[in-house]
Structures are given as structure tokens and as C-alpha cells.
Amino acid sequence: MASKRGSDRKKPSALHVRKGVVGGHDGLPGGRTRSGDRNGGARRLLSVREYIDGVRAGDRVILGRAITLIESNAPAHQELAQEVLTALLPHRVQAVRVGITGVPGAGKSTLIEALGVHLTAAGHKVAVTAVDPSSSLSGGSILGDKTRMEKLAADPDAFIRPSPSGGTLGGVARKTREAIVLFEAAGYDVVLVETVGVGQSEILVRSMVDFFMLVLIAGAGDELQGIKKGVVEIADAIVINKADGKGRAAAEAARAEFERVLHYLRPATPGWRTRAVLCSALRGEGVAELWGMITEFMAAARKSGVLEERRADQERTWLRDLVREGLETMFRAQPGVAAKLAELEQDVAAGRMPATAAARRLLDEFSAGD
Ligand code: GDP
């Protein structure tokens, strides 16, 4: 696993982070430095009305700028962004939100491209974004690596937005969720969210999509190594990619093995049996079938009410997380707490005071504070 993680860092996700460059496919002309955009310094901010009308009209440039606005951490931008998002909420199409994870090299970007092209040919509008855990470490500008999804990048019915850089993974998640609102308000009826398999980010993506799939390749009998069992448990489909040429037989064996394992696991979505399927993203084989399975899932989840429940739960959980984070920030910033926190933590760590008593002291301090 260690070596996989190592290569993870070196090998970018399909929408990876790179310093100092800006991708053009988000509606921002190539070559422009992001800092001007991001801070609103170089360009006039649009009015709330202009953002709303532009996004609703599917204007790619304005959609790109609206995403840049929600990605900004500046309080004034945040206020404007929330106004725009609130106004757009009722105007969203109900998109199919799909999360895609897998180790680097599994073929995620090839699959996203194949699926995306298949969908736009069928009349869908497809938005692609990513939650890249490494982007939270990069303060610089970001680039969607269009070279790995060339056809989709050139497709007028597709919109590719790279992973936001967030400061924290929570920050990246917020920006991604809000970008999804914008995509849907702009009429994108399929949203694909990619992430790389390093743990926490998969849980985050699972918490913002309807259908979640794990892309794998068959190895020499080590199908279950290198991936955490927990990731299999949150997947609605296991897609064994590269089931072509010499890899076909190994892929079929891996599929059978996964089917056996899945038999013993609780399904990620109530009422849906998680399946292991084969595909060759490179040849475009199994891609239509994969989409067929996703639409079958959506129909079943809609009918049973699971979809509505899941989405409501996701929003509620997100709200609670935001409140919890906000409270913690306020708590730590409160002068009485700030003055005592370090000392009390030391007392607790050294066994001089019970944690419960220390927590009570701090919470009393907080509630008594101004
Ligand atoms: P990612 O890191 O998961 O996004 O993986 P990529 O999509 O970049 O694919 C990694 C490599 O595997 C590339 O060289 C692809 O051309 C190749 N690849 C992807 N899908 C397939 C497939 O279905 N069959 C074969 N044979 N190769 C594939």
C-alpha cells in the first residue's frame, strides 16, 4: 500500500492539481492567472443577477466564474456565493450524481471519458469534477488535465472542472458540493465526481453522490489487497476495468471473486445488490451496460424512496457538520477558552485532571464568555 500511496502522489488524478496554471475548459481563457480571478482583483465581480441568469442559461464562462466565486474564501465572495446558490436551488435539474474511485492507473479517467462521450452522444449534458485530497495541500492554482480526457474536454455538452483547492478536505468537499448545485442549475443532468483511493476522500464523495463505484483492475490474485474493505462496502458497483485482450480472463476471475465477497457484505444502498461488472474503458466495452446499471439503480432508488431519503440525509449531515465545525471555530476563538485550553489539555494528558471535568470547565468558560 505504501508504494501505491507514493505513486499516488506522483501520479495525478485525472483532474489533478498543478501550480500556477489554469485550465481553459472551465470557461476561463487559458493563460490567465487564477489569482486575479480568485480574489476578484483583476476582474469585476458579476452581480447576483448576472451569475444567476448566466448559470441558468448554461453560459459556460459564467458557470466557470460562479464556481470560482463559490471557491473563494473571502467573506464578501462567500456572501455573494450563498445568495447565488440560494436563488439557484429551485432551478436545478435532478441530475444523476455518480462518484468514481479507484487506485491510480485503474483507468478512471479513461472510463470517465468513455462514459462521458457515450452520455453526451445520447443527449445528456455531463459535468465532471474531482475531490483530490492532495489539492488541500496545494495553495496554488489548479488545472484539469484535459490531456487525459481529450474528447470529453472538447465536447460542448461536457464541462470539466478540476478539484478545488480547499485548505482542508472539508473545504474541498464544500466547494465540490456547491459546484454540483451550479452544474445542476446549468442543466447538467449527469455529474461525475472522481476521487483517488486514499481513504477519507472516498467517504466524502460517497456523501455527495447517489451512486458510487469502485474501479479496479485484476491483479495476480491480489484483488482484495491494496484496497480497503471499507471502500468495497460503500460501493454500489465494483467495475473491473481492462477486461480486454490478455487481461480478459484475469478480469473475469476477479469479477467472480468479488461476487463471492459481495455476497457476504451488507449492500451500500438498501434494496440494491452491489454487483461486480467487467468493462474495457479503452475499447468502450461494457460502458453502455454500466450506464444501464446506473439508470436501473436510479429508477429503483427513486421508486423505493431511498434516493430522496439519501439526498435529504446527505444535506442534513452536511448541515450538522458545518454547524459543528463553526461551533468549534467559535469555541476555540473565545478568549476564555483560548486562554485555558492548552493548560487543561496538558493537565488531562498528564493525568492530573479527568477529561470530563476539563471539558466542563471549558464549556462553562465558553457559555459564560462574551
Ligand atoms: P487513472 O489513473 O485511474 O485515471 O487511469 P487512466 O485512465 O489514466 O489509465 C491508466 C492506463 O491504463 C492508461 O495507460 C490507459 O490507457 C490504460 N487503460 C485504461 N483503461 C483501459 C482498458 O480498459 N484496457 C486497457 N488495456 N488499458 C486501459
Is the pLDDT assigned to residue 338 strictly greater than 60? yes
Pocket of ligand 1 (CB under 6 A): 14, 102, 104-110, 148, 241-242, 244, 280-282
Q: If you count DSSP H runs as helices and E runs as strands, how many of each does the chain have, helices first?
A: 15, 7
- Residue that the C-alpha cell 496538558 belongs to: 346
For residues 289 and 314, state if they share a domain: no
Residue 61 lies in a domain: no
The answer to which of 89-103, 115-129, 207-221, 331-345 has the lowest mean pLDDT is: 207-221
Report DSSP state, residue 280: B
Q: Is the pLDDT of residue 44 over 90?
A: no
Query: Do 315 and 279 sit in the same domain of this protein?
Result: no
Q: Where would I find the beta strands (DSSP E) of the chain? A: 96-101, 126-131, 158-160, 190-195, 211-217, 237-241, 275-278
In which order are the strands placed within the sheet that holds 158-160? Answer: 158-160, 126-131, 190-195, 96-101, 211-217, 237-241, 275-278
* Upper half-sphere CA count for residue 32 (Cβ side, 13 Å): 18
Distance 218 CA to ligand 1 centre (A): 13
Please write the tens of the pLDDT for every residue from 127-167: 999 888 765 554 433 334 556 788 999 999 999 998 887 67
CB 208 within 8 A of CB 101: no
Pocket test for ligand 1, best of 9, 196, 217, 282 (most atoms within 8 A of CB): 282
Ligand 1 atom nearest the C-alpha of 112 is 7
Do 160 and 289 belong to one domain? yes
pLDDT tier at 265, thresholds 50, 70, 90: confident
Alpha carbon of 105 to ligand 1 centroid (Å): 6
CA-nearest of 55, 295, 296 to 159 is 55
- Quote the domain boundaries for residue 361: 310-368
Q: What is the DSSP letter of 101?
A: E
Looking at residues 222-243, what average pLDDT do you find?
79
Query: Is residue 112 helix, strand or coil?
Result: helix
Do 197 and 238 share a domain, yes or no? yes
Distance of CA 148 from the midpoint of ligand 1 (Å):
10
271 and 224 in a common domain: yes
Residue 331: pLDDT band with limits 50, 70, 90 = very high
Query: Mean pLDDT over residues 211-238, rounded?
Result: 78
Which atom of ligand 1 is least distant from the CA of 196? 3
Q: Whole-prediction pTM value?
A: 0.84
**Is residue 39 assigned to a domain?**
no
Does residue 253 sit in the same domain as residue 315? no
Residues 296, 354 within the same domain: no
pLDDT in tens, 79-135: 999 999 999 999 999 999 999 998 888 899 999 999 999 999 999 999 999 888 765
Q: How far apart are the first and last CA of the chain?
A: 49
> Which atom of ligand 1 lies at the shortest distance from residue 280's CA?
23
In this prediction, residue 29 has a pLDDT band, given cuts at 50, 70 and 90, of very low
Number of domains, the chain: 2
Distance from residue 195's CA to the centre of ligand 1 (Å): 15
Q: Express each pLDDT in 176-203 by its tens digit.
A: 999 999 999 999 999 999 987 667 888 9
CATH of residue 171:
3.40.50.300
Helix (H) or strand (E) holding 303: helix 287-304
Same domain, 229 and 337: no
Ligand 1 atom 15, closest CA: 107
Claim to verify: residue 352 and residue 300 sit in the same structural domain: no
Q: Angle at the Cα of 247 (from 245 to 250), degrees rounded to 5?
A: 140
Domain contains 56: no
